[in-house]
Structure 1
């Protein structure tokens, strides 16, 4: 049995509907888990369109099927300028937002794999730090961040809510 072909690439306009479907599945999964994250109309279809247009959107594909979506934003997250706590670094960074896994691929460890691809990509861009936040009740993401060596730095405020903020220094 041949192993699946996995690729990490920028999202394209024609990926929009598949990405939106995956985000809708993730919104529902967060709701079923009893989380308040993503339950207020964000992210939405225009978020996806904006991510693609601004070249923030990336996908992890398995045999050409989109399995995971993520937004990667270089040096720009206004909410991160104010943190209750302290970031590890003050230089250039990449922010990870809107990680969403297709139901078809859920439970296969793909977000951990995604983080490996992101880290390699960020290093290739000569950026030494990744920052990310998540909801207090997103236990799946909290476990992934811990397993991938992210350091808890404090709290930030996004979309009217408090988020746990993490950073990983790559170089």
Structure 2
């Protein structure tokens, strides 16, 4: 597997992956985290344009996608009922999904992101047991609760090399 930046001509494929992810989440007890329309096409287009959208390929086929960015994320400025592992510079991963065809693709993406900076923050919905398991399996520690821009509660996790 390999990670690379998403190209603009791959937007339709990426949107299809997110559509499938919403169906998967709804079928696994998490129908509200992304609802029927998140993420919007305009958001993913912005992610691609800003260079923060990445894909994971296996044999030339895109099997996963995610947002990765180094630097502060406004969503993580305040944490409740807990604390971050540290206040060192960090990167974030958002909107990670795979097409389910290659076992371990999401873990590969998380490990790649961690290898880029060694201090990674991520969040997920309380009902997203699949993601919580993935984060636990990959060495992330639960740190507390954060709130998204729209006021939605999320479980916050961090993995740090130091």
The answer to whether TM tops 0.5 is yes
SS at match of 1:115: helix
* CA distance in 2 between partners of 1:66 and 1:170 (Å): 29
C-alpha contact 1:70 1:96 (8 A) present in aligned 2: yes
C-alpha contact 1:57 1:69 (8 A) present in aligned 2: yes
Question: What is the aligned-residue RMSD (CA, Å)?
Answer: 1.4
TM-score, with length taken from structure 2: 0.91
* CA distance in 2 between partners of 1:68 and 1:77 (Å): 23
Aligned counterpart in structure 2 of residue 167 of structure 1, from 135, 150, 158 = 158
Matches within 5 A, 1:99-118: 99-103=96-100, 105=101, 108-118=103-113
SS at match of 1:95: strand
Aligned counterpart, 1:41: 37
SS at match of 1:73: strand
Aligned counterpart, 2:12: 17
Any runs of at least 4 consecutive aligned residues in structure 1 with deviations exceeding 3 A, and if so which? none
Aligned counterpart, 2:21: 26
Count of aligned pairs = 159
Aligned counterpart in structure 2 of residue 77 of structure 1, from 70, 73, 80 = 73
* CA distance in 2 between partners of 1:135 and 1:95 (Å): 16
The answer for unaligned runs of 5 or more in structure 1 is: 1-5
TM-score, with length taken from structure 1: 0.87
Aligned counterpart, 1:96: 93
* CA distance in 1 between partners of 2:98 and 2:123 (Å): 17
Aligned counterpart, 1:8: 3
Aligned counterpart in structure 1 of residue 136 of structure 2, from 146, 151, 165 = 146
